[in-house]
C-alpha cells in the first residue's frame, strides 16, 4: 500500500498536483492524505483578531477548512473513481511544515506531492515558499508539479548525479515502482570533465542499477564544468517527462536549495521534479 501526502491550499495549482498524482499512481493501491494546515490563516486578518475572540476565529477558520476539504474530496472522487485508492482528509491548526513532518512519521508516508507554487503563484519563483520549505526540511521524497502541467506518462526521466551520494534503497525502490508501469527510460547523467569513475562512484552506480532493475537505464557522462548548464541543455535537447535529484550533504541539489538560487536551474520548471531526501534536518 502506497501512502501519499498531498498538502493543499485549495488553489488550482494544488488541485493540478492532485490530478497528476491520481494518474501517476493509478496502478497502485494507495492511501492519499489530503492535508490543509490553517494556523497562519487564523492570524492573517488583523481586523478580525481585534474584534473577535481567538477561539471564535479558530472555529470559523476550522469549519471553513473542513468544508473546503469535503469539496476537494468530492472533486477527487469525480475525477478518478479508482477502487485502488483510499482517501483521508486532515485539517490541522498547525503550520504546514510541522504538520507535514508529523504526518510523514505517523502515517509512514512514502512521498509528498504538491504544486511547485501555491495560491500566491509568484511567477518570479520556481518554487513557492511552502514548497521550498517542504523540500528543505521534511525527510521524505517530494514530487513538485508545475502550474498547468497536463499529465503525461513518465516515459523518459533525467536523473543527474555525481555518484557520491549514499542512496536510500527505499527511495530508489519507490522511484522504480512509481515509473516501471510506464516502461520509463531513465537517463542517469554524470556531469564531469573526466570520463573516469572512482571505485566509490562505480559501487554507487552498480547499486543504482540493481535498485532500478525494472527500468531501462542509460548511464551517461556529459563533459561540462557547469552542472546547471548541462541539465538545461539536456532538457532542451530531449523529451524529458520528469527530473529527479537526490538531496544530501554537499549534494548539488542542497547547494542550489540553500543558496536560494534554484532559479538558476529553471525559472519556469516545465516538468515534474522529484527530490529524494537522504538527510534529516532541523525545522526552522
- The CATH number that applies at residue 222 is 3.40.50.620
Q: What is the pLDDT of residue 263?
A: 43
Annotate the chain with DSSP letters as a single string.
Answer: -EEEEEE--SSHHHHHHHHHHHHHTTTS-EEEEEEEE-HHHHTS-HHHHHHS-HHHHHHHHHHHHHHHHHHHHHHHHHH---TTEEEEEEEESS-HHHHHHHHHHHTT--EEEEESS-SS--TT-SS-HHHHHHHHH-SS-EEEE-TTPPP----EEEEE--S-S---HHHHHHHHHHHGGGT-EEEEEEE-S-----HHHHHHHHHHHHHTTTSEEEEEEE--S-HHHHHHHHHHHS---EEEEEE-TT-HHHHHHHTT-GGGT-TT--S-EEEEE-------
CB 275 within 8 A of CB 138: no
Cα 211 to Cα 206: distance, rounded to the nearest angstrom: 9
pTM for the complete prediction?
0.88
Q: Say whether pLDDT at 50 is over 90.
A: no
- Is 275 among the domain residues? no
- Is 284 among the domain residues? no
- Is 115 among the domain residues? yes
- Is 283 among the domain residues? no
**Digit-coded pLDDT (tens) for 20-45:** 999 999 999 999 999 999 998 888 87
187 and 141 in one domain? no
235 and 140 in one domain? no
Domain that includes residue 134, residue range: 2-145
Q: Say whether pLDDT at 172 is over 50.
A: yes
Q: What is the pLDDT of residue 254?
A: 52
Q: How many domains does the chain have?
A: 2
Q: What is the pLDDT of residue 128?
A: 64
Q: Take residue 16 and report the three cell numbers written for it.
A: 493540478
139 and 9 in one domain? yes
Q: What is the pLDDT of residue 197?
A: 92
202 and 112 in one domain? no
- Is 169 among the domain residues? yes
181 and 110 in one domain? no
Cα 215 to Cα 236: distance, rounded to the nearest angstrom: 23
Q: What is the pLDDT of residue 94?
A: 94
110 and 238 in one domain? no
> Which of 112-116, 126-130, 187-191, 250-254 is predicted with the least confidence, judged by mean pLDDT?
250-254
116 and 11 in one domain? yes
137 and 11 in one domain? yes
Share of the chain above pLDDT 90, in %: 60
- Is 120 among the domain residues? yes
124 and 36 in one domain? yes
- Is 250 among the domain residues? no
Amino acid at each position: 500500500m502506497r501512502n501519499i501526502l498531498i498538502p493543499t491550499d485549495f488553489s488550482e495549482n494544488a488541485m493540478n498536483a492532485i490530478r497528476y498524482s491520481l494518474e501517476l499512481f493509478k496502478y497502485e493501491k494507495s492511501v492519499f492524505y489530503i492535508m490543509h494546515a490553517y494556523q497562519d490563516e487564523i492570524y492573517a486578518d488583523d481586523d478580525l483578531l481585534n474584534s473577535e475572540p481567538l477561539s471564535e476565529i479558530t472555529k470559523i477558520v476550522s469549519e471553513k477548512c473542513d468544508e473546503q476539504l469535503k469539496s476537494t474530496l468530492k472533486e477527487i472522487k469525480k475525477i478518478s473513481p479508482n477502487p485502488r485508492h483510499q482517501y483521508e482528509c486532515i485539517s490541522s491548526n498547525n503550520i504546514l511544515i510541522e504538520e507535514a513532518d508529523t504526518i510523514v512519521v505517523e502515517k509512514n508516508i512514502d512521498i509528498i506531492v504538491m504544486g511547485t507554487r501555491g495560491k500566491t503563484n509568484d511567477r518570479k519563483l520556481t518554487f513557492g515558499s511552502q514548497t521550498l520549505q517542504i523540500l528543505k526540511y521534511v525527510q521524505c521524497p517530494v514530487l513538485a508539479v508545475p502550474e498547468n502541467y497536463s499529465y503525461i506518462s513518465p516515459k523518459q526521466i533525467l536523473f543527474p548525479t555525481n555518484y557520491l551520494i549514499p542512496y536510500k534503497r527505499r527511495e530508489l525502490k519507490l522511484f522504480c515502482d512509481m515509473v516501471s508501469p510506464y516502461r520509463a527510460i531513465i537517463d542517469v547523467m554524470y556531469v564531469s570533465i573526466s570520463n573516469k569513475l572512482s571505485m566509490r562512484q562505480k559501487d554507487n552506480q552498480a547499486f543504482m542499477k540493481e535498485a532500478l532493475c525494472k527500468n531501462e537505464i542509460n548511464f551517461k557522462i556529459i563533459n561540462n564544468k557547469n552542472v546547471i548548464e548541462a541539465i538545461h541543455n539536456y532538457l532542451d535537447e530531449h523529451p524529458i517527462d520528469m527530473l529527479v535529484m537526490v538531496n544530501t550533504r554537499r549534494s548539488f541539489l542542497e547547494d542550489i536549495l540553500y543558496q536560494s538560487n534554484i532559479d538558476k536551474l529553471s525559472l519556469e520548471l516545465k516538468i515534474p521534479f522529484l527530490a529524494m531526501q537522504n538527510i534529516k534536518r532541523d525545522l526552522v
